[in-house]
């Protein structure tokens, strides 16, 4: 998609709210959007695109809410200063480095009160990573609260007084570390002096089994996936 191309069928502008969603070939914010609406917009929804960079987001200098769910933003994404931003939804992107992201958020968005990171590798929620449990997710919450103390909501839940107190005491030590790459495994040579890989069990292919469990998340949003889960009491 060209930088200035805008699909008018995907664009909705009402008052100070702008939505531009569902464009698979949209890898960055079209320059034309900022030129036409940047100074007027307080709410910007760019969900379900393929955005990889936030270049030209600074044209929306008055933003208070930014929805970027279901894009392709990774650890290299840069966030321009947006001093009025209160809500940021980054669900289902490609973010792995939690600490790096939080450092950028704290520097660029000093007024942020709501943040949602579900379905990123940086967020150990049980629905997207079956190897994680509630204790992994709670440690993640302590660390995020510790790093960004202005937050009032994280993902689908309000931050409690107890969580904030625990984050002050334990947050520095609850850093969610990315797994280190496993060292290469040496393979012993065969009798003929050549290397032979381990055999592949072809019969096991396609037989992976998943597991399902209940979570405490609750859906209340329109486009954002940050609150799309059902609490146990509703089941």
**In this structure, is residue 123 part of a structural domain?**
yes
**In this structure, is residue 61 part of a structural domain?**
yes
pLDDT tens digits for 151-195?
Answer: 999 998 999 999 999 999 876 666 655 545 455 554 454 444 433
Question: CATH code at 148?
Answer: 3.80.10.10
DSSP assigned state of 161: H
**In this structure, is residue 193 part of a structural domain?**
no
**In this structure, is residue 192 part of a structural domain?**
no
**In this structure, is residue 199 part of a structural domain?**
no
The least confident of 8-22, 63-77, 148-162, 211-225 is 211-225
Given a cut of 80, whether residue 224 has pLDDT beyond it is no
- For 88, the token pair is 């940021």
Element housing 146 (H / E)? helix 134-147
Number of domains in the chain: 1
pLDDT band at 218 (very low <50, low <70, confident <90, very high): very low
**In this structure, is residue 183 part of a structural domain?**
no
**In this structure, is residue 191 part of a structural domain?**
no
Q: pTM of whole model > 0.85?
A: no
**Residue range(s) defining the domain that contains residue 58:** 8-177+212-234
The proportion of the chain whose per-residue pLDDT surpasses 90, expressed as a percent, equals 63
Strand order in the sheet with 114-116: 11-14, 17-20, 43-45, 65-67, 87-89, 114-116, 153-154, 157-158
Is residue 63 a contact partner of residue 85, using CB atoms and an 8 Å limit?
Answer: yes
**In this structure, is residue 189 part of a structural domain?**
no
């Amino acid at each position: 998609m060209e930088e200035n191309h805008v699909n008018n069928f995907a664009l909705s502008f009402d008052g100070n709210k702008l939505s531009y969603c569902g464009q698979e070939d949209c890898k960055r914010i079209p320059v034309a959007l900022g030129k036409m609406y940047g100074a007027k917009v307080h709410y910007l929804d760019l969900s379900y695109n393929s955005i990889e960079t936030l270049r030209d987001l600074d044209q929306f200098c008055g933003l208070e809410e930014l929805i970027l769910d279901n894009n392709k933003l990774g650890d290299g994404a840069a966030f321009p200063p947006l001093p009025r931003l209160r809500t940021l939804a980054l669900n289902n992107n490609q973010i792995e480095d939690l600490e790096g992201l939080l450092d950028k958020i704290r520097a660029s968005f000093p007024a942020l009160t709501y943040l949602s990171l579900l379905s990123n590798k940086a967020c150990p929620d049980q629905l997207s990573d079956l190897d994680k449990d509630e204790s992994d997710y709670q440690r993640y919450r302590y660390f995020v609260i510790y790093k960004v103390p202005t937050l009032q909501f994280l993902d689908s839940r309000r931050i409690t007084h107890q969580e904030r107190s625990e984050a002050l005491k334990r947050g520095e030590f609850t850093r969610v570390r990315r797994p280190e790459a496993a060292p290469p495994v040496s393979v012993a040579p065969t009798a003929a002096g050549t290397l032979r890989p381990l055999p592949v069990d072809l019969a096991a292919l396609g037989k992976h089994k998943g597991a399902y469990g209940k979570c405490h998340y609750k859906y209340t949003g329109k486009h954002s996936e940050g609150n799309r889960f059902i609490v146990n009491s509703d089941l």
